[in-house]
Structure 1
Amino acid sequence: MSGVVQHFVLAAGGTGGHLIPAFALAQELTARGHHVALITDERGAAIPGKPDALTAHVLPAGRITKNPLSWVKGTRAIMEGRRMALRLFESFDPSAVVGFGGYPALPALLAATSAGIPSVIHEQNAVLGRVNRLLAGRVQAIATAYPEVSRLADKYLGKVHLVGNPVRPEVLDLRNRPFPPFTDEGLLRVLVTGGSQGARVLSEVVPDGLAMLPPALRSRLQVTQQCRPEDMEAVRGRYTGHHIPAELGTYFEDMASRLADAHLFIGRAGASTIAELTAVGRPAILVPLPIATDDHQAANTREMVKAGGARSIRQDRFTAKELAKQIQVMAQRPDTLANAAHAAWNCGRPHAARDLADLVEGFGGTPLMDVIRVGGTEAPASGSEALARESVQ
């Protein structure tokens, strides 16, 4: 810590993927004695997990799409949010503004540029998001969660810092626990989650795929699966018909403890999911969400798959037969699953919140300021105009 109390503004879009790392950074900066404020939209303000000490400011955040009809309304909201952010900066006097992506972050970062306040963006995915692409030339540093990030222009590489993606403290606490014992006769505990958009295909495929495993392996299964409420009875019927014990739920509050007990994870490849799997060290079969923007979930799997900690199956190839085949490869012997767990663990970046805080704190004059490369690129035209141009390309 620098010893100087600073003020920081964090700006994040209204989804858990953007807010969770923002909350983690807020906790770390607050623990260091700094003051932190959050700029978000109405959805973001309702996301659970916000630290008590973090004050949230809800600002307008227009969205500009490929439809020209959205441009006027979206631009008006963005510029109103920018004006409100400037008023907040006058009273709060931040040392830096940190954006975590999503349209609600855009007005705050545009305001920071106007006010001459240093700014940082954090990209959670392995593809630079649309808003972060727009802002990359304006900010002083780009923090990434992966060593390889697509759609990040080479001219900005000099200000890139690999920090990782912060995870919840209760998950990070599991990092130094050993992989749960898995023997030739013991249970194989499988955890299945799909997120709000992805649970249905998993509900349809996973029970039948598990049923296709060899009897010696199938008889040892113990499954926990998150389902949509409307799918619950159908999934329960599938498992009952296959004589596979399964605990089903629409939401598990103790997800960290369930992850701790799991030998194998099956699910989507969102940034927070990958960060938690690698923080704990859990082998996975990942099914990237095909409608994810810029196919970023498929990109998120690259590092973990290359290391040997996961298998990735495209949704159009995600069949019961293919799933059973991949599970057999990963769990054919106790050591293969344990080795995959270790490979996943090696991909983890447990100090992400600390390293991101060090980077951000550097703008207040700590020695880190000397190693931050400040981009010398000329700022583009107005943010809303640039975003509109990019949206229609």
Structure 2
Amino acid sequence: MKVAVTGGGSGGHIFPALAVARRLIELGHEVSYVGAEGGMETRLVPEAGVPFHALPAGKYNRNTLQPREAWKALRGLVSARALLRRLRPRVVLSTGGFAGFPLAFAAENAGVPVVLLEQNAALGLANRWLAPRARRIALAMDVSLPRKLAFKALVTGMPVREERREARAAKQALGFDPDRPLLLVMGGSQGSLALNRALPDLLEPHLEGWQVLHQTGERGLEAVRARVAGLAGYRAEAFVDAVTAWSAADAAVTRAGATTLAEAAYHGVPLLAVPLPADVDGGAQEQNARFYATREAALAADQEKPGELAAQLERLLEDAELRAHLRAHLAELSPAGATERLAHLLLEVAE
């Protein structure tokens, strides 16, 4: 069966789409991945061995009219119609974002069934536009939708790499003491300037009891390494192997991207979520953090409130009972099996 998978622009759109694409290929189906020209997916998808096609895709800016982006979006829609005729998929999966819109929109207009994956606690802009005519909506989180959409929604969870390592072995592989707790600081695939600046000072008083693995992103590595050079047990790396790092971690401080939260839930790592400001991502991470916090699966703090960030961090590190409580509720949100569920939903819709 021919299946098209589309989405890109960020790891949160690309990695779940790739996970489903690989699973469908394992099941013997013909999968094509469609992304945006110049996006991260142009490198990541071919590296994963999945056939890739690029389309022009204009970014929508909520605050400014950008004629060049509008022209790219129009070109993308025209190109998507031609590509759809070439690929002839029985079903299309879109993981959202501007990169996933052109092919999904063309498919809906051509009568090809579309399944949307919404990773966040509320529908993103592209998915809101596509949802009325989508065949099904797969949800990473159990969130409520308007009645006119709720009947086509299914909670599948967020596809993540379903691999774990034994905790002590993972700590040793990373070069840490297996007998001491490890805090993972992760600011997303490119790091977080705010976390890079704030965390070394806040964590220094806790280093007698804790070790720290801080993923800074490439741009932040030099500054953080200079700041923590004299701190025993505090190590900064531009990138980390996610499976090993999550397996080793006893707690985490992270952004509130959907993939990051799903990985924490899968690995059972209690965390403090520090979402991006709403003016950066339209409030998606704030809503994700609120979703996990209201279900007592994470603590949350505003990066613009240093006192709140420091207080929540101290609670996470000093209260073992709280960490156990968060871990128990994370288990209720674990996305284990999400890739399989989403792959079979696509095949069900196609048939």
- TM bucket by the smaller chain? 0.7 to 0.9
Tell me what 1:134 maps to: 129
Pairwise CA distance, 1:74: 3.8
1:155-170 matches, cutoff 5 A: 155-168=148-161
Q: Distance in 1 between matches of 2:106 and 2:150?
A: 24
Pairwise CA distance, 1:230: 5.2
Q: Distance in 2 between matches of 1:123 and 1:35?
A: 23
Match 2:288 to one of 292, 297, 300: 300
Contact 1:209–1:324 (8 Å) recurs in 2? yes
Tell me what 2:216 maps to: 227
Match 2:44 to one of 48, 56, 80: 48
Q: 1:153 to 1:81 in 2, by over 3 A?
A: farther
One-letter amino acid of the structure 1 residue matched with residue 268 of structure 2: G
Contact 1:175–1:281 (8 Å) recurs in 2? no
Contact 2:188–2:260 (8 Å) recurs in 1? no
Q: 1:229 to 1:360 in 2, by over 3 A?
A: closer
Q: Distance in 2 between matches of 1:80 and 1:246?
A: 51
Q: 1:176 to 1:203 in 2, by over 3 A?
A: closer
Over aligned residues, Cα RMSD in angstroms? 2.8
Where 2:151 maps in the other structure, the secondary structure is helix
Contact 2:302–2:308 (8 Å) recurs in 1? no
One-letter amino acid of the structure 1 residue matched with residue 196 of structure 2: S
Q: 1:174 to 1:41 in 2, by over 3 A?
A: same
Where 2:9 maps in the other structure, the secondary structure is coil
Pairwise CA distance, 1:311: 0.7
Q: Distance in 2 between matches of 1:175 and 1:233?
A: 29
One-letter amino acid of the structure 2 residue matched with residue 209 of structure 1: L
Q: 1:137 to 1:237 in 2, by over 3 A?
A: same
Q: Distance in 1 between matches of 2:156 and 2:303?
A: 30
Match 1:309 to one of 285, 294, 297: 297
Pairwise CA distance, 1:46: 2.7
Where 2:252 maps in the other structure, the secondary structure is strand
Pairwise CA distance, 1:205: 1.2
Contact 1:190–1:262 (8 Å) recurs in 2? yes
Q: 1:355 to 1:329 in 2, by over 3 A?
A: same
One-letter amino acid of the structure 2 residue matched with residue 59 of structure 1: L
Pairwise CA distance, 1:49: 5.7
Runs of 4+, deviation exceeding 6 Å: 175-178
Is 1:327 the counterpart of 2:322? The answer is no
Aligned length: 341
Tell me what 1:236 maps to: 225
Contact 2:191–2:216 (8 Å) recurs in 1? no
Q: TM-score, normalised by structure 1?
A: 0.78
Q: 1:142 to 1:7 in 2, by over 3 A?
A: same
Contact 1:7–1:95 (8 Å) recurs in 2? yes
Contact 2:57–2:72 (8 Å) recurs in 1? yes
Q: Deviations over 1:103-131 (max 9, x none)?
A: 22222112212321111111111121111
Q: 1:233 to 1:85 in 2, by over 3 A?
A: closer
One-letter amino acid of the structure 1 residue matched with residue 98 of structure 2: Y
Pairwise CA distance, 1:229: 4.7
One-letter amino acid of the structure 2 residue matched with residue 155 of structure 1: K
Larger radius of gyration: 1
Contact 1:11–1:105 (8 Å) recurs in 2? yes
Kindly indicate whether structure 1 or structure 2 has the higher relative contact order, using CA contacts under 8 Å at least 6 residues apart.
1
Contact 1:263–1:282 (8 Å) recurs in 2? yes
Where 1:48 maps in the other structure, the secondary structure is helix
Q: 1:283 to 1:55 in 2, by over 3 A?
A: same
Q: Taking every aligned residue pair, what percent have the same amino acid on both sides?
A: 31
Q: Deviations over 1:58-106 (max 9, x none)?
A: 1222334441635751453133223322332xxx332111111122222
Match 1:33 to one of 20, 28, 33: 28
Q: Distance in 1 between matches of 2:254 and 2:98?
A: 27
Match 1:349 to one of 323, 331, 335: 335
Q: Distance in 2 between matches of 1:140 and 1:268?
A: 31
Tell me what 1:20 maps to: 15
Q: TM-score, normalised by structure 2?
A: 0.87
Where 1:274 maps in the other structure, the secondary structure is helix
Match 1:204 to one of 197, 203, 210: 197
Q: 1:224 to 1:49 in 2, by over 3 A?
A: farther
Is 1:276 the counterpart of 2:274? The answer is no
Q: Distance in 2 between matches of 1:103 and 1:26?
A: 19
Could you tell me which runs of 5 or more consecutive residues in structure 2 were left unpaired when the two chains were aligned: 172-178
1:167-186 matches, cutoff 5 A: 167-168=160-161, 172-174=162-164
